[in-house]
Structure 1
Amino acid sequence: MTPSLPRGGAPDYRPLDLTGVADTAVDVFEDPDDVRLGTRVLHGLPFRFGDRERAVLLVPPAGSARVPVDGQPTWLVFAHALLEPELFEGGRVGQEVGAYRLEYADGTTVTRPLRQRFEIGPTPRRWDDRPLPLDWGQTPLLARNDAEHVLMNRSCGRYDEAGARLVGIDDPQSRVPYVLPYRFYLWAMENPRPDLELTGLVAEARGASLILGALTLSDLDEEPFTRTVAREVLVEVRDGGVTESLELRVDRGTASYVLRTVPDVEAAPELPGGWGRSRPEVWSTGYTKVSASPSATVTVRDGDTVLGTLRWGDLVERGVLTLDRCTVRLPGADQNWVRTTVRDETGEPVACRIRFQSTDGIPLAPYGHHAHINSDGGTWNLDIGGDVRLGSYTYAAIDGACEGWLPTGPVQVEVARGFEYEPIRETVTIAPDQTELDLVLTRRFSARDRGYLSGDTHVHFMSTQGAELEARAEDLQVANLLLAQWGEHFTNTEEFTGRPHVSHDRRTTVYAGQENRTNMLGHINLLGLRKPIMPWSTGGSEEDELGGGLATTLSHWADECHAQGGTVVLAHFPVPYGETAALLATGRLDAVETIAYDEYNITEYYRYLNAGFRVPLVGGTDKMTSEVPVGLVRTYAAAGGGDYESWCEGIRRGDTMVSSGPLLWLRVDGQPPGTLLTGRASVHVEVELETIFPVERIELVRNGEVIRTEPVGSGATGHRFGLTVETDGSEWFAARCFGAADAGPRHADTWSRPVFAHTSPVYVSSRPVYERHDAEVLTTMLAMIDGARRHVTEQARTRWAGTVRHRHGEGDHLAYLTRPFDEASAALRDRLDRHG
């Protein structure tokens, strides 16, 4: 049941009726039409302003006026201001500009001075002739203006208010031009003699005109404006879940958005520590932060439905209140500012991802990071850099150290650093006097010691510094930050330098390249560029601007990239499935990219391998949201030189392994992926697994067929096996593995990617040469090439108005566009002819 609100009888705040003393019309203000009058509630307190004809009491300089006041109030709250802007014309801060004299029934009086910018200040103006409003940032130091902080709609609003929405309140600083949000200042004066009956108040003006708009008396033993710092409040909804429509409304204070609490990290974990947890469909508990006066009324609402009402002082006193349809509880308030350091085995601080939460499920973000990224999900091109959301959990990328508030007592913590460190998931205890916390990450495996670097082929929207920090936090040595066009939106233009950005420890590289895109022909990653290759997108929406023409093809982009010594990767192979066959047929691809294991995509890859195309497999995230960590799908490439260029060389050689967690190493007769072995009647295959993730099985694939399935024991962090295989003609071998089980659990990123690893092939022939042929695949490729060419000639916008000279400089634009398709058709027909 709802607790009773002890406000019966005399009201707690009593607005006075100043009708008998108000003597000045609203025209005294600069913008009279914008002045709100009548009965108002400001900061939860009732005020009674006059009407337009008798809006305020105006006391001229050296004048005075008496206001009848009765009762024994504890506080008097004035809504007042100065009329003249002397403060902004050289007036002195702290100068006495007036006073209030209280008159008591016993004949005594008490006077309180009004000082410029202390208890009072000039009523605001527009300042149309100035770039900055002079009253902004110069409001009275001991008073509040009459504008309240209003929590903005959490999930919708005007486009031009997007920035203010992230602030949480309707922020006047975000408005252009500046709009006056207030007219009066609210000053609370404590009654020095509440034991005596008041009879009147005399307002005196000295150096400026005093305007009094309203006066409210308090009968409560509390400060009218709360000074308590906001604290967490837990709300448990019965017969329903926490959604974005759940809110707490506080009349005398503030409340933030209600966000879901998060599941206990140690209860039935789905993934290793630091790798998130799937978001429940329904979750009954949320939390918010409230700052309120003891007399404040707190209303819990879900849209238009009231779930219950309480008095804040009652909740503070009892700690928990059961309302009609929910329960509201205060967690413990004790907390310390704690500095946390994460070190490796050598004792040096190490970059990582970290998160804390209370045992009540309240996330505790290190200072400067988000507890909930973008409220509760949906983060395309938002909050990218420094924070990662994986299902229910939000992580902060830190450079080995962070600090912020942690509650005393048990605190749950998770720390992760890529695929080669043992993650931390534990409960630590913060002692009452503790201000330091040390955590240690332990390396389990080392791909670098094997000669491999890990890299993400496909990252968007981040800054170079942000990409570097997140890459180091994920133990990722390479991040390819790709410039792109999205209609009329161009991203990361300023990041392009034409050279690698190398971290201070020389172990991480961020290289700004490009993802050039067409809606129908496909997307292509151009890595290691020295100069931009334009246009970034072409052929109209969705990638290019609406109605845009087709200016070039993926093949021409690939040629320009290779001319610079760059590396060409077909993004998220094979889709968009347009120019893919032409690129493969002409040998323009250095690798094809997978962003997640999928039966369709991998089967297409196998089909091309079976048709004799030797093309490496690489992995990237296509990160466009903070709900994807950099390197969640990554490419391990042999990099003897230990730098970006040698990593790219490893890709071009095909010595790669793609992983979303497990490390899977393949050797055929001791040779790595990408190797061509000829004249071998048989080969010895060795496969080794290293993993912090649970893996169910390893599969050895020959020519697209699984020839060996190797179960992996529950809880195993490693597994290896070997076998000898007889060869017949030209064959390819690859290894792959899947998390336990391959249908789940999956990663908690925005696309719920599976846990897997897949190597590039080793190519083996029992003859002196390696040559495979599949007429059906080649015929299908010819059909794809013909369809893509016809799209160019019959569907694409290629007819510009007027005389046009294209970037490529050729006179016949259509011939330029179709040339790569004709080259590809000729190459495939030649292969078909050679095989009869």
Structure 2
Amino acid sequence: MVIPVLPSPASHGPASPEPEYRPVDLDAVADASVDVFEDPADVELGERRLHGLPFRFGTPERAVVRVDPRTTTRVPATGPATWLVFAHAVLEADLYRGGRVGDRVGSYTLEYADGTTHTHPLRQRFEIGPTPRRWDDRPLPLDWGQTPLLARNDAEHVLMDRSCGRYDQAGARLVGIDDPQSQVPYVLPYRFYLWALENPRPDADLTAVSVTADEATLLLGALTLSRLDEEPFTTTVAREVLLDIRDGDVDETVEVDVDRGSATYVYRTTPDVQDAAGLPAGWGAPRPSAWPTGYTKISASPSATVTVRRGGHPIGEFRWADLVAHDVLSFDWGTVRLPRPDQNWVRTRVRDAAGRPVPCRIRFQTLEGIPIAPYGHHAHINSDGGTWNLDIGGDVRLGSHTYAAIDGDCEGWLPAGEVQVEVVRGFEHEPVRRTVTIAPDQGHLDLVLERRFDARERGYLSGDTHVHFMSTHGAELEARAEDLHIANLLLAQWGEHFTGTEEFTGHAHVSHDHHTVVYAGQENRTNMLGHINLLGLKKPIMPWSTGGSEEDELGGGLATTLSHWADECHAQGGTVVLAHFPVPYGETAALLATGRLDAVETIAYDDYNVTEYYRYLNAGFRVPLVGGTDKMTSEVPVGLVRTYASTRTPGATTGPAAEVDHDAWCAGIRRGDTMVSSGPLLWLTVDDEPPGSVITGRSTVHLRVELETIFPVDRIEVVRNGEVLHTEHVEAGTSTHLLDLPVDVDGSDWLLARCFGSGDAGARHTDTWARPVVAHTSPVYVSSAPTWERVDREVIDTMLAMVEGARRHVTEEARTRWHGAVRHRHGEPDHLAHLTRPFDEATAALHARLGASGTS
């Protein structure tokens, strides 16, 4: 039901008239100064609103009514009242010196105009308790967690600023409320306890309240009378409220205040799951630049006034009882609505066709667009704020949608009625997007997630070469949920911040089902020479960063090079990958020239980066391509860009992959038998040989490409020597496609396959970098001659220039001069000679390549 449009708050009176709660004037009986408290300077007096109720405290000279042991003080309180709300406390701290909970410390006696009375006892830690101390000599305040069981503190929980605050309070902001537990030293948030006494005779006028103290001193700071037929402090659980702001945008500046209750931050509702054009279920929806609908959760007394603000300025208000009565209220500024409140605690199970648990990502939302997180997960990661190195592990946000990574089971509240649910697991399972109906008495929900394709049966394992900021077990959970076999968790240095130090073990962490491996390696970095991933390390290789900021500490010196890191990694049997090839573009040419790279990594298909890769292939460098996410945020799923590498025995072209094994996967990378994907699966063979193979002495070869995809794919391209040889269009709605193509060979060529998501510009993911949907294989090398050889003089000349420039950076620009006597980690007496040696080796190798080809 929609009530008529109401005017803005400026044109009508307050929604909550003051006579509903009437503060009593205690000036005539207040007889103790504020010095009665341990810290009088911090005691707030005068007119105050506590939990939305008005109170009148005294002055510093006459702050409280003090009732000493075995005495009585009569407090005038006249007129009718349904409730009496006392702000009181016990002066002595005897409760913490052997006193007992429940001991009577005094009483209140209500006196009526007809001469009758009613007495209610005051018991320690029931209706009243000792006023707090600082307890400076104790690590834990004795009154913390021992406040009265039937009363409330005079301090209220308030929302912290959603997006700003001191750096050292970043963790506290995740709590939402201004929580004294997060403050060091402990700050007293209250002085009195608010206790509401229901008047047994609300129709009889009061004349006074007699306060009697037994063996303790009682302090009465304020008394307020209520004429409302409602509990002064609500005990109702918060419920969701939808806000539709006319001609507006729900962003972080939109807030809701409740004077007699509480409200959470205002969050945007999420777009319908059908709105993610070009992406299958479970892969998010773009975040709109503006969105007029949001929601908050409110717990309030019926008389509460709810105020909607933007940028701190009120745009509208309404009475909570009116909304509860009508479900919908319309105003000139917008509409507020109450969704159906019925809900059940539901245990959800995701199983495969055989009934086995399936780790996956899952999300629920109401038909109104309110997301519902399984318990222990986020509906809005970091309140929809940034997540760089924050809230990493267990949850993923893709555009407007947040998903929980689960092991196949989760539980939590779901609304009765229709609920939308998405379930997804990587690139090889058919994602689920459906609307389910939760019956009024339903406590379980069963969902089936079926495998559509199986790369492992083809002999390939999937892995992410580049993951940051996660724990080992967090990476395992997310990898299992993404059907990713291997996650390389890379330790790194960021100035004076070191991440992942405690995760390094020197061996693989294997999940209990032996389907997932997490291996803590390193990304070693310099600000100019580049970044390099060191996989499969047995011992750390230090330093992790060098050369000063941004990666190393400010003003730091250049202690080593990527080439030396690569040598140490290889000495341990590890695998060396150039991170996010080719940038930072410094030592790249030297590493390739000297054969120190086992692979180059792409974190997103980009014409420039791919063209640079093709240039090096054209120059005769047979280097595999791998994929990783460079995950540093919850807005990137582990394995969004992943490497499929063969773990078959060399020479074997069929058969499933062996057990999930990090060493075998790395060996497949080094052989070049890889395919990089951000969604589609693309399998290439040339004369039945996989990527990385060298096929010689043939004038014609037979190329075969198989596509398997849950993502819409527009086209498959076959690339020869950097040029598109053949384009194969894929029909809409196709999930599998086969391409057979004979290719003539004249000289030494390389062949690879790639495919792209559908759409004019190609489909893009909704992760933080909006990466394209693409798959790209490593090359097969074919030659009509007995050997495969390629040289491109222009590329080699460019490489020589890059090597010279990088060497000069080391000798002329980098900080290489330490003060005092220095013994470097490498132990060589000539530090500059150590740094420049790899560049001299690269120059010699490139000239030798030119000489061997007869082009020098």
TM-score tier, shorter chain, comes to over 0.9
Unaligned runs of 5+ in 2: 1-5, 649-657
Query: 1:198, CA displacement in angstroms?
Result: 0.6
State how far apart, in whole Å, the 1-side matches of 2:309 and 2:358 are. 44
Q: Is structure 2 residue 697 aligned with structure 1 residue 689?
A: no
In the alignment, structure 1 segments of 5+ residues that lack a partner are none
Which of 46, 52, 68 is the matching residue for 1:44? Answer: 52
Residue 392 of structure 2 is aligned to residue 384 of structure 1: yes
Contact 1:309 1:323 survives alignment (8 Å): no
Q: Is 2:334 the counterpart of 1:326?
A: yes
Q: Which residue of 1 aligns with 2:695?
A: 677
Secondary structure of 1:402's counterpart equals strand
Tell me how far 1:34 sits from its aligned partner: 0.4
1:109 CA displacement: 0.6
- How many angstroms apart in 2 are the aligned matches of 1:672 and 1:787? 37
| Secondary structure at the counterpart of residue 274 of structure 2 | coil
The residue number in structure 1 matching 2:191 is 183
Residue 307 (structure 2) pairs with residue 299 (structure 1)? yes
Tell me whether 1:715 sits opposite 2:723 in the alignment. no
Cα distance in structure 2, aligned partners of 1:10 and 1:577: 69
Matched with 1:740 is 758
Aligned residue for 1:655?
673
Cα drift, residue 721 of structure 1: 1.1
- Give the residue type in structure 2 aligned to 1:639: T
Aligned twin of 2:3: none
* Shift, 1:306, TM fit: 2.0
What's 2:792 paired with?
774
Are 1:702 and 2:720 matched, yes or no? yes
CA contact (8 A) 2:361 2:481 kept: yes
Paired with 1:6 and 1:766, the residues of 2 have a C-alpha distance of 89
Which residue number in structure 2 is paired with residue 138 of structure 1?
A: 146
Q: How many residues align?
A: 836
Which amino acid is 1:768 matched to? P
Answer yes or no: is 1:580 the counterpart of 2:588.
yes
Q: Distance in 1 between matches of 2:573 and 2:71?
A: 84
Deviations 1:49-93 (A, max 9, x none): 000000000000111100011111000000000000000000010
2:130 alignment counterpart:
122
> Residues 207-286 of structure 1: matches in 2 within 5 Å?
207-267=215-275, 269-286=277-294
Q: What is aligned with 2:744?
A: 726
Deviation at 1:6, TM superposition (A): 8.1
Output one character per residue of 1:778-823: Cα deviation in whole Å (capped at 9) or x when no partner. 0000000000000000010011111000000000000000000000
Equivalent residues in 2 for 1:2-13, closer than 5 Å = 2=7, 11-13=19-21
Q: In structure 1, the residue corresponding to 2:387 is in which secondary structure?
A: coil
The residue matched to 1:106 in structure 2 has which SS? Answer: coil
| In 2: Cα distance, 1:67 partner to 1:624 partner | 63
Considering only aligned residues, what root-mean-square deviation do their CA atoms show, in Å?
Answer: 1.0
1:204 counterpart (191, 204, 212): 212
Deviations 1:578-613 (A, max 9, x none): 000000000000000000000000000000000000
The share of aligned pairs that are identical, in percent, is 76
Matches for 1:762-801 after TM superposition, within 5 Å? 762-801=780-819
8 Å contact from structure 1 (residues 70, 199) kept in 2: yes
How far 1:831 moved relative to its partner? 1.2
Query: After the TM superposition, which of the residue ranges 530-539 and 6-15 deviates more from structure 2?
Result: 6-15
Alignment check: 8 A CA contact 1:146 1:184 kept:
yes
| Secondary structure at the counterpart of residue 816 of structure 2 | coil
* Equivalence map 1:495-534=2 (5 Å): 495-534=503-542
Which structure 2 residues correspond to residues 382-781 of structure 1 after superposition, within 5 A? Answer: 382-640=390-648, 641-642=658-659, 643-741=661-759, 743-781=761-799
SS at match of 2:803: helix
For 1:442, what is the secondary structure of its paired residue?
coil
1:353–1:396 contact (8 Å) kept in structure 2: yes
Contact persistence 1:635–1:656 (CA under 8 A): yes
Q: What's the offset of the Cα at 1:267?
A: 4.7
1:469-524 deviation per Cα after TM superposition (whole angstroms, max 9, x unaligned): 10000000000000000000000100000000001111110000000000100000
What letter is aligned with 1:294?
Answer: P
Question: Quick one: distance in 2 between partners of 1:283 and 1:478?
Answer: 38
Q: Determine the C-alpha separation between the residues in 1 that align with 2:676 and 2:16.
A: 70
Question: SS of 1:11's equivalent?
Answer: helix
Contact 2:266 2:295 in 1 (8 A): yes
SS in 2 for 1:443: coil
Contact kept? 1:5, 1:311, Cα under 8 Å: no
Q: What residue identity is the alignment partner of 1:103?
A: E
Distance 2:395 2:139 in 1: 36
CA distance in 1, matches of 2:153, 2:76: 25
Provide the C-alpha distance between the structure 2 equivalents of 1:159 and 1:18, rounded to a whole number of angstroms: 44
Counterpart residue number, 1:818: 836
Specify the alignment match of 2:652 in structure 1.
none
The one-letter code sitting in structure 2 at the alignment partner of 1:732 is: W
Cα pair 1:63 1:204 within 8 Å, conserved? yes
Q: Shift of residue 207 of structure 1?
A: 1.6
- Deviation of 1:345 after TM superposition, in Å, equals 1.4
- Counterpart of 2:382 in 1: which secondary structure? coil
Q: What residue is the counterpart of 2:83 in the other structure?
A: 75
Match of 1:317 among 310, 325, 328: 325
CA distance in 1, matches of 2:542, 2:275: 51
Alignment match, 2:382: 374
Superposition deviation, residue 265 in structure 1: 1.1
Kindly indicate whether the alpha-carbon contact (under 8 Å) linking 1:307 and 1:324 is maintained by their aligned counterparts in 2. Answer: no
Aligned to 1:804: 822
Q: Aligned runs of 1:132-171 on 2, under 5 Å?
A: 132-171=140-179
**How big is the shift at 1:195?**
1.2
Q: Is the 8 A contact 2:163 2:385 kept in 1?
A: no
SS at 1:818's partner residue?
helix
Give the structure-2-normalised TM-score.
0.97
SS of residue in 1 equivalent to 2:404: strand
Match of 2:655 in 1: none
Match of 1:552, as an amino acid?
A: T
1:741 Cα offset (Å):
2.2
Judge conservation of contact 1:742–1:754 (CA < 8 Å) in 2.
Answer: no
The secondary structure found in structure 1 opposite 2:336 is strand
AA matched with 2:76: P
Query: What displacement does 1:684 show?
Result: 0.5
Distance apart, 1:635 and its partner CA = 0.1
Deviations 1:153-202 (A, max 9, x none): 11101112111111111110011111111100000000011111111110
8 Å CA contact 1:307–1:323 kept in 2: the answer is no
Deviation per residue, 1:394-449 (Å, 9 max, x gap)? 00000000000000111000000000000001101111111100000111100000
Deviation per residue, 1:649-687 (Å, 9 max, x gap): 000000000000000000000000000111111100001
Residue matched to 2:30: 22
* 3-state SS of paired residue (2:525): strand
Q: CA deviation at 1:133?
A: 0.3
Q: For the residues of structure 1 that align with 2:251 and 2:166, how far apart are their CA atoms?
A: 21
Aligned-pair distance for 1:9? 7.2
Separation in 2, partners of 1:94, 1:85: 14
Distance 1:818 1:114 in 2: 82
Aligned-partner residue type, residue 27 of structure 2:
T
Look up the SS of the partner of 2:414 in the other structure.
strand
Per-residue displacement from partner, 1:97-148 (whole Å, max 9, x unpaired)?
A: 0000000111111000000000000000010111100010000000001110
Q: Which amino acid aligns with 2:152?
A: R
Between stretches 594-603 and 323-332, larger displacement belongs to 323-332
